[in-house]
């Protein structure tokens, strides 16, 4: 297949960007479905401290592709809360919804590895069996676009969990990169956004551990280098559910920043600075930050006062 001029430009564009990455660019990427709760604050804090300890940049990206679940007021509230906690990002905020052109371009480059799929959610669980890859989609139904995952092993070294490995087809299966409703799916969007923002280090919750090999496969198919990954224990409630808007998690109040930051540092296994001063606390936390102290466990129970 011959590529159009435009495609070549895109490929080169991505490659140039990945080559010009500075030594450390991290990010926090919340979806604006509600204000920050303790779980999202812990992730924000860890990615902030990791970036600042490494003298890097820390960017904020609002993952607002899902129009139905997101609100502008939540996006403003998140920014206000982060400022209240003095987790101040570098550069301008990137809104995912403003960068869909990059997703279409990436999709073009992946075209040879995709196929239409008409299966419903139930038919795709727990691991998609490749029905439409083998038999073709039912064209009378609406279709999503699936990416053919690499058959070989997908592995990476996580800063907390060490070396991890998956078998593409057996453990993960082909996955959706564009949904039936036309929305670009999470895995594609996150890869393109991280490329556009020249992200070198991703710090996020362990609930995304098995998203990582899928995203690595997209990098592989685009011929680009992935960032480094660090997955944190996910904060859960007393029923072991991840704190979320759906689980009615309380929003974190910047008025109690010092107390909440201390709790978050404890849950991240870090040394707790002995100061009650907000700014000094953060400065010392940056200086003392040590990834090796992060507990190697998938979940941590939220402190009761923050549920």
**Is residue 119 at the binding interface for Zn ion, with CB under 5 A as the rule?**
yes
- Give the residue with the Cβ less far from Zn ion, 115 or 219: 115
Cβ of residue 45: shortest distance to Zn ion, in angstroms? 40
- Give the residue with the Cβ less far from Zn ion, 139 or 304: 139
Element (H, E) at 101: helix 100-110
Paired residues of 25 in beta bridges: 57
Tokens of 109: 């480059």
Cβ of residue 87: shortest distance to Zn ion, in angstroms? 42
Is the torsion defined by CA of 103, 91, 217, 121 positive or negative?
Answer: negative
- Give the residue with the Cβ less far from Zn ion, 15 or 179: 179
Cβ of residue 264: shortest distance to Zn ion, in angstroms? 42
**Is residue 132 at the binding interface for Zn ion, with CB under 5 A as the rule?**
yes
Contacts of 131 (CB under 8 A, 6+ apart): 117, 119, 123
Q: Tell me the DSSP string of 157-182.
A: EETTTEEEEEEIIIII--EEEE-TTS
**Is residue 117 at the binding interface for Zn ion, with CB under 5 A as the rule?**
yes
Q: x/- binding map, residues 63-102, to Zn ion, per CB under 5 A?
A: ----------------------------------------
Among 13, 79, 113, 131, binds Zn ion (CB under 5 A): 131
Cβ of residue 126: shortest distance to Zn ion, in angstroms? 15
Cβ of residue 128: shortest distance to Zn ion, in angstroms? 7
Identify the burial level of 259 via C-beta atoms within 10 angstroms of its C-beta, where 0-12 means exposed, 13-18 middle and 19 or more buried.
middle
- Give the residue with the Cβ less far from Zn ion, 119 or 177: 119
Distance of CA 265 to the CA centre of its chain: 21
Please tell me the distance from the alpha carbon of residue 34 to that of residue 83, in angstroms, as a whole number: 16
What residues line the site for Zn ion (CB under 5 A)? 117, 119, 131-132
């Amino acid at each position: 297949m011959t590529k159009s001029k435009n495609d070549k430009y895109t490929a080169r564009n991505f490659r140039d960007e990945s080559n010009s990455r500075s030594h450390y660019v991290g990010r926090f990427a919340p979806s604006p479905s509600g204000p920050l709760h303790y779980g999202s604050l812990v992730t924000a804090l860890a990615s902030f401290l990791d970036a600042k300890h490494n003298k890097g940049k820390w960017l904020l990206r609002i993952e607002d592709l899902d129009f139905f679940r997101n609100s502008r007021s939540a996006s403003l509230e998140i920014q206000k809360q982060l400022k209240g906690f003095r987790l101040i990002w570098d550069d301008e905020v990137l809104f995912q919804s403003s960068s869909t052109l990059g997703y279409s371009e990436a999709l073009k480059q992946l075209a040879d590895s995709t196929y239409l799929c008409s299966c419903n959610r139930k038919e795709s669980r727990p691991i998609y069996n490749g029905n439409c890859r083998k038999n073709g989609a039912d064209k009378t139904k609406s279709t999503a676009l699936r990416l053919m995952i690499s058959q070989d092993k997908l592995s990476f070294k996580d800063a907390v969990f060490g070396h991890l490995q998956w078998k593409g087809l057996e453990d993960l299966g082909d996955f959706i990169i564009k949904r039936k409703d036309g929305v670009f799916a999470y895995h594609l969007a996150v890869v393109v956004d991280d490329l556009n923002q020249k992200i070198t280090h991703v710090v996020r919750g362990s609930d995304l551990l098995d998203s990582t090999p899928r995203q690595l496969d997209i990098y592989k198919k685009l011929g680009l280098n992935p960032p480094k990954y660090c997955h944190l224990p996910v904060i859960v409630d007393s029923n072991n559910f991840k704190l979320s808007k759906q689980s009615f998690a309380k929003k974190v109040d910047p008025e109690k920043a010092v107390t909440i930051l201390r709790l978050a540092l404890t849950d991240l296994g870090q040394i707790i600075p002995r100061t009650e001063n907000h700014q000094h606390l953060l400065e010392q936390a940056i200086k003392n930050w040590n990834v090796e102290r992060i507990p190697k466990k998938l979940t941590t129970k939220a402190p009761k006062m923050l549920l």
